[in-house]
Amino acid sequence: MPEQVAEEIANNAIDHVASLTMSLLTFDAQPHAVDDPRCTSIYSEVRKFTYYATRGVLFEGDSVHEYMISLIPLYQSVCGGDAAVDGISEDADPETPLGLVICAGLARDRIARGEAVSAVELAVLSDLSDRQVRQLIRDGEIAARGGKISAKTAHRFLMTRKVPGF
């Protein structure tokens, strides 16, 4: 999955840049094709962050903060908006592959730092919909206060669901 998400995002970014470039050139200009999107830095960064988001695996020397800094320009160009390191998960659309990865990665990081997460953040980590998580909260199966689930409760829930990295 990390490789597929990374390749899709890299291809989308390459196509986006190519279309912008072609609009600025003369009609007879020939674009240079990227032979393998897996050779791009976009592919590498998205793949590494997707491993963290889905499995909790950080590569040696990498930090979540560094991933986010590298993904902000990509997220802004692909999804639009004024994304920032703090609060990007509120802007990231979990319906898009890149938004889902960003939301899951930041949720995982928040739990690791002992911070509470939202129903949407817990949902992306647990492979449930936010509606299902909210129902579990209403049914009392997940304790929440003010719409937030404590890191301890989220960690326990994700462990029970056998989510990798918990």
Residues with pLDDT less than 70, the chain: 16-34, 59, 61-62, 67-93
| pLDDT score, position 41 | 77
Biggest distance spanned by C-alpha atoms of the chain: 64
Q: Is the whole-model pTM more than 0.95?
A: no
Nearest by Cα to 130 from 117, 112, 140 = 117
Report the pLDDT value the prediction gives residue 86, as an integer from 0 to 100: 45
Residue 126: burial class (beta carbons within 10 Å; 0-12, 13-18, 19+):
buried
